[in-house]
Structure 1
Amino acid sequence: MGHRPTIRDLARAAGVGTATADRALHGRGNVSDRMRQRIAEAAERIGYRLPSDSAAPSAPLRRINLGFVLHKPSQSFYQRFATEIEAACAAHPAANITPHIEYSASQSPDDFCAAITRAAQNAHAVAATAINHPSLSRLMTELRAQGTPVYSLLNDFGGRAGAGYFGLDNMKVGRIAGWMMALRLQRPGRVGIFVGGTRWHGHSLRETGFRNSLHEYAPQIAIADTVVNLETRQVTYEATLDLLTRHNDLAGLYVAGGGMEGAIAALREVRPPNKVALIVNELTPESQNALADRYALMCVATPLKELCAALVDRMAQAPELEVSSPTLFEPSLLLPESF
């Protein structure tokens, strides 16, 4: 005669505590429908007989496939982004969501289009980081006509063709960076700006906000020509060294997109801490260490956990509910004393 499963066996099979399993089965406490379903499925799998008054749902949760496109899979920021996406999908209380995460092979329009097309296969909705380009707008229009909305992440590349934007107010981000730079530099000097490229409109908005804020609060500060760094460490590293060589009065740097690791490495090589005010975006081990060592003045970070939770919830409702206005989040402002 085989062993009759106990509630401990059920809890182990569902990957929860015994108390959680008991609450789920008898409707006590705050247990989500998703967790009740998970426990009910575990009970069926191991042959555990549910009590007649079980609060576990009789019908399975709705199954949804969601597609996501990121880039630069080797960078810690996008690795954390992927982790938060997966966590938000796993924690959704009203649907059983399977995320399919693709990475664009490069920042070219063709590679972004290819990645989005792959992510859209059998997907309820898609969300992506991508550049602004007509080919991407056409693709989004086609996918939307087929019933698969595409949401823009961090950079609003979709416009009217997209289903909605989730990210920061990039003009505001630039103004915050400019205000902090003006506050720090109370004397004449020069600052440099890095953007990923002309097709990242979010970077252009940050640059505009940064310049406007500096002109308003610190007109004595000169601004060097904007440098396109392709969001790469090496280009940023070499360009930072070049700026430091050509401008003896260089007092600040703003990296509006990726590639900040190169600026940090260059400053560590040729300048002492606090000599050049560096402002970067997104919290990574490199930016946190630079803040702690006083090589960075401020980091403006996207609240990824909050963004992913709101994004997944909205995507789970698509195409029944589509977004016409941006979903904006307040940036996290991190300083050397934040850690």
Structure 2
Amino acid sequence: MSDSAAARRPTMADVAREAGVSLSTVDRVLNLRANVRADTAQRIASAATKLGFHAQGVIEQRLRHDRPTLRLGFLLQKSGVAFYQGLAQALTEAAAATARARVRVMIGYLDELDPLAVARRIEAQRGEVDALGVVAVDHVAVREAVSELRLNGMPVLAMLSELATRAGAGYLGVDNRRMGRVAGWFVTRLAQQPGPVAVMVGSQRFQCQELCELSFRSYLAEAPGDWELLASRLTLEDPGYAHGNTLDLLSAYPNLAGLYVAGGGIEGVVHALQELHGQGLPLPTVVCHDLTPVTREALRSGLVQAVLSHPREQLARRAVDVLVGASLDKGQPGYELLPLQLDVPECH
């Protein structure tokens, strides 16, 4: 190697300067002399990679072996729902890719809406996981269970649906007020003419669904035209119940102009729409949540006109990053909004 080439080769001092640490800290990482904080070691590894430092492989190996092990728990909604199955997979993949820690993901499902049962499941996470992400109804028993975990030092992140401030959990999800208004925009512009409009929610105990419903109603109330806002219908997050309620709704209002499905049970709604379409009956403009194989096919077939989604992979990556950071830095998750994903038939 020539003298000029040797002069250009990055040194430990270059890595220290790039990482913003002392030369002795780089030496400790490189030669395994003493423990170095995981985030500091990560900065050094990133600097070594950026500069092309000859011993970057040694630093990366040290980082892999020195990463702390964390157990991240996630309590999602019903296990049979395609969106939550996909989210569970995305969380597992995000955990495997994170650099700051070796993460073990522990997924649980809340197959019943009873707040007391949900609270018991949350309480049972104490001592089982190091941090918790949860999709849950906002109820006093749930808030107390979350608050108790926080008082015992566990970071808790409410995902998709917020919990009241006094619970002390962070939040990661979309702006649900905006989501409801976007749904209203689609209905008022795609419906053939103004008329009766209905909202279906799984449970108004989910803050996300309550906010979506209220903002949708607010948008329709301001929109020009003779829009008749009907009483909300429940799906109970259950496809069978949603199927029956959709058939009842369309039987009572065959001229229904728009339907906004702001909760779970969309599989049952789509099944009912398929039946009615097969009978040659007119269908309303339909907007629903979360792109899954069922809603994607409903878009393609014209049964649904728009799907408003949480960006699932981004949600999973940020949830893992936030909970890992809160666990290692002894902090609490904050409030973070994700962009809304829009899908219409032309996308598929």
TM-score (norm 1): 0.81
Aligned mates of 1:180, 1:291 — CA distance in 2: 14
Partner Cα separation in structure 2 for residue 253 and residue 153 of structure 1: 25
Q: Deviations over 1:79-125 (max 9, x none)?
A: 00100111111110111111111122411112212222333434221
- Residue range with higher mean Cα deviation, 228-237 or 288-297: 228-237
Counterpart CA distance in 2 for 1:294 and 1:192 is 19
More helix by share: 2
Change (3 A) 1:79 1:53: closer
2-side partners of 1:290 and 1:247: how far apart? 21
Secondary structure at 1:119 match in 2: coil
Q: Is the 8 A contact 2:191 2:284 kept in 1?
A: no
Deviation, structure 1 residue 310: 1.1
List, as ranges, runs of 4+ consecutive aligned residues in structure 1 with deviation greater than 3 Å: 51-55, 272-275
* Identity value in percent: 31
Unaligned runs of 5+ in 2: 1-29, 31-40, 46-54
Counterpart of 2:68 in structure 1 is 62
Equivalence for 1:164: 170
More displaced 10-residue stretch of structure 1: 61-70 or 216-225: 216-225
Instruction: Tell me how far apart the structure 2 counterparts of residues 337 and 321 of structure 1 sit (CA, whole Å).
Output: 44
Give the 5 Å matches for 1:192-271: 192-271=198-277
- Between 277-286 and 116-125, the greater mean CA deviation after superposition: 116-125
Give ranges in structure 1 of 5+ residues lacking alignment.
1-24, 26-31, 37-50
Deviation at 1:158, TM superposition (A): 4.5
Q: Tell me the residue number matched to 2:297.
A: 289
- Check conservation: 2:67, 2:102, Cα contact below 8 A: yes
Of 331, 342, 346, which residue of structure 2 is paired with 1:333?
Answer: 342
Flag the 1:52–1:157 CA change in 2: closer, same or farther, 3 A. closer
Q: How does 1:185-196 map to 2 (within 5 A)?
A: 185-196=191-202
Query: CA shift at 1:73, angstroms?
Result: 0.7
RMSD after superposition = 2.3
Shift of 1:53: 7.6
Q: What aligned pairs does 1:272-287 form with structure 2 within 5 A after superposition?
A: 275-287=283-295
Count of residue pairs the alignment pairs up: 293
Q: Tell me how far 1:246 sits from its aligned partner.
A: 1.1
> Do the aligned residues in 1 keep the contact of 2:120 with 2:145 (CA within 8 Å)?
no
Q: 1:160 Cα deviation (Å)?
A: 2.8
Separation (CA, whole Å) in 1 of partners of 2:281 and 2:69: 52
* 2:79 corresponding residue in structure 1: 73
Question: Which segment drifts farther, 295-304 or 103-112?
Answer: 103-112
Task: Give the one of 315, 331, 339 matched to 1:321.
Answer: 331
**Contact preservation (8 Å) 1:67, 1:120:** no
